């Protein structure tokens, strides 16, 4: 699902929204009176281009165009989604919504990035109150999937359903709150932790770096993949949540925290915290810290993706949507047998690069192995088939590294069947970027019984699909490099 989106306010959050939409194929129209808006969003886009596409193992659609407009009316023209990200002043937001509703499609969704205002406050004086809802993201918007979606009280109709569908299509998770509350949900947690952290610094208990280390080396990692309640359920052991609450519930009455007591923001406190923060992170520019943050987030989220858990499960669901209706989503009978089969189209992620700045050696094998898995799936050796006891094992592999490729590059793999009948399958993969041949992978596989772990005949259906490609590909030119051994060309 793509269309046109208007971004009203192009700061850190608005720029992140622009990147999330554009990299998912939407046409983006931006209005921001800041004369530096185009430069700032350009820098956000540069970070997003190197990180977001590498989260998925399916290439994102072609990037949508971004244009900048002098007026709100011009920006919202034709937009199906309008995202307001102006400063947190209610009078400014009301004026912005007024200008938007005078010019926009009445059926367009108007989302507000507000972190604190309730939808009932945003909708005051609006021509169409039900059109305005909170869509509060988290920074960086182009990577983090959570969006707190809060419509007005009682508004839960087709427009809300459309909003959820759009956000899901962007790879995001709409947390639909049916009852409004100040600061929604996530920021209330952050505020509680922030209050306690201020006291710990002020009272000399811990420095800013020590507090950050307590989070990133401890519960922060647990929360990233399991949240709060599920983490505590596990902490309760075999007896579960009831045991945990019985054991630790009394601690809630102990004076451990000062959550409702805020230290006075004196110049001394501000200087103390700012000084410690400079000592902790001042060696890096903001752009360097953003890239370090993005690298870490991509690596963690891809790890969760491999486990189909947490934010990784959302990425897998998005990939399934992206595969549908593409050459990557069809079976053998839908593909011509007289041409190489596209078995991969993906972006090279950040964590696939090495100290030389290009895709590391092991990842070529990773990519070719994924292509082999995809071809197996095409001929019917899919998850269900494997669960029933049959599969192919690789017996021999030869890879030629012909050209380098970098993070963010979109690579394709095309597969030719050299031979296929009975227990044997001989594949030749070519990895390309545009017109450049990057590498080839030659693989010989044997069908095995997973019960005996020995070679066995495939099912008639799988063998017939394989033979169909083998016979069709027999008429293709012999691939350059086929049968090569290590050493100089013959």
CATH number of 330-473: 3.10.129.10
pLDDT at 332 over 70: no
Over the stretch 141-153, which tens digit does the pLDDT of each residue have? 999 999 999 998 7
CATH architecture of the domain covering 189-283: Orthogonal Bundle (1.10)
- pLDDT on residue 117: 95
Percent of the chain clearing pLDDT 70 (strictly above): 97
Looking at the whole model, is its pTM more than 0.85? Answer: no
- pLDDT on residue 10: 94
- pLDDT on residue 481: 92
CATH topology of domain 4-176: Rossmann fold (3.40.50)
Q: How far apart, in whole angstroms, are the C-alpha atoms of residue 19 and residue 172?
A: 13
pLDDT category at 15 given cuts 50, 70, 90 is: very high
Dihedral of CA atoms 97, 99, 102, 103 in degrees, nearest 10, equals -110
pLDDT category at 63 given cuts 50, 70, 90 is: very high
Q: How far apart, in whole angstroms, are the C-alpha atoms of residue 488 and residue 274?
A: 61
Average pLDDT, the chain: 92
- pLDDT on residue 244: 78
- For 277, residues 6+ apart whose C-beta sits below 8 A from its C-beta are 208
For residue 72, the number of C-alpha atoms closer than 13 Å in the C-beta half-sphere is 20
- pLDDT on residue 33: 95
Q: How far apart, in whole angstroms, are the C-alpha atoms of residue 283 and residue 350?
A: 23
pLDDT at 279 over 80: yes
- Compare 248 and 437 and report the one with higher pLDDT: 437
Binding-site residues for NAD(+) sit at 9-14
Nearest Cα residue to 457 out of 407, 402, 409, 420? 420
Over the stretch 287-324, which tens digit does the pLDDT of each residue have? 888 988 898 899 999 999 989 988 999 999 998 888 77
Domain assignments of the chain as residue spans, ordered by start: 4-176, 189-283, 330-473
pLDDT category at 327 given cuts 50, 70, 90 is: low
Binding-site residues sit at 9-14
Q: What separation in angstroms does the CA of 39 have from each of 50, 70, 146, 292, 378? A: 17, 15, 26, 21, 45
Q: What separation in angstroms does the CA of 109 have from each of 117, 167, 277, 435? A: 18, 11, 39, 41
Two structure tokens written together for 70:
């002098």
- pLDDT on residue 325: 62
- pLDDT on residue 109: 97
- Compare 484 and 443 and report the one with higher pLDDT: 443
Nearest Cα residue to 141 out of 212, 243, 63, 52? 52
Residue count (the chain): 490
Two structure tokens written together for 236:
């309760």
């Amino acid at each position: 699902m793509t269309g046109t989106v208007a971004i009203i306010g192009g700061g850190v959050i608005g720029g992140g929204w622009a990147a999330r939409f554009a990299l998912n194929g939407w046409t983006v129209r931006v209005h921001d009176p800041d004369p530096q808006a185009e430069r700032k969003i350009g820098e956000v886009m540069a970070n997003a281009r190197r990180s977001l596409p590498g989260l998925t193992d399916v290439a994102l659609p072609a990037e949508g165009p971004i244009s900048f407009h002098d007026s709100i009316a011009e920006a919202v023209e034709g937009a199906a989604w309008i995202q307001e990200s102006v400063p947190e002043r209610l009078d400014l937001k009301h004026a912005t919504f007024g200008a938007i509703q005078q010019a926009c499609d009445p059926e367009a969704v108007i989302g507000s990035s507000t972190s604190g205002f309730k939808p009932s406050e945003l909708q005051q004086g609006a021509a169409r109150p039900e059109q305005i809802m909170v869509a509060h993201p988290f920074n960086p918007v182009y990577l983090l999937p959570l969006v707190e979606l809060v419509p007005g009280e009682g508004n839960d109709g087709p427009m809300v359903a459309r909003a959820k569908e759009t956000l899901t299509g962007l790879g995001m998770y709409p947390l639909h709150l049916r009852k409004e509350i100040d600061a929604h949900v996530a920021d209330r947690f952050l505020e509680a932790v922030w209050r306690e952290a201020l006291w710990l610094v002020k009272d000399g208990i811990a420095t800013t770096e020590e507090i950050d280390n307590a989070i990133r080396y401890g519960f922060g990692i647990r929360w990233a993949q399991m949240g709060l309640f599920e983490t505590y359920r596990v902490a309760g052991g075999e007896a579960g949540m009831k045991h945990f609450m019985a054991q630790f519930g009394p601690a809630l009455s102990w004076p451990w925290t000062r959550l409702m007591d805020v230290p006075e923001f004196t110049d001394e406190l501000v200087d103390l915290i700012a000084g410690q923060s400079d000592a902790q992170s001042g060696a890096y520019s903001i752009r360097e810290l953003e890239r370090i943050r993005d690298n870490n987030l991509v690596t963690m989220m891809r790890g969760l993706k491999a486990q189909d858990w947490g934010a990784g499960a959302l990425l897998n669901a998005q990939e399934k949507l992206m595969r549908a209706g593409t050459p990557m989503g069809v079976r053998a009978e839908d593909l011509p047998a007289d041409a190489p089969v596209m078995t991969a189209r993906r972006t090279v992620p950040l964590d696939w690069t090495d100290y030389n700045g290009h895709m590391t050696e092991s990842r070529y094998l990773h990519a070719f192995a994924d292509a082999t898995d995809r071809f197996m799936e095409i001929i019917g050796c899919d998850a269900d088939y494997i669960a029933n006891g049959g599969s192919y094992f690789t017996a021999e592999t030869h890879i030629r590294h012909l050209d380098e490729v970098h993070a963010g590059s979109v690579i394709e793999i095309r597969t030719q069947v050299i031979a296929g009948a009975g227990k044997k399958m001989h594949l030749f993969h070519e990895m390309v970027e545009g017109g450049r041949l990057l590498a080839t992978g030659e693989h010989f596989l044997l069908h095995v019984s997973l019960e005996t772990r020995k070679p066995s005949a495939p099912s008639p259906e799988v063998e017939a699909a394989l033979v169909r490609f083998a016979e069709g590909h027999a008429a293709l030119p012999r691939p350059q490099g086929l049968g090569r051994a290590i050493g100089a060309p013959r």
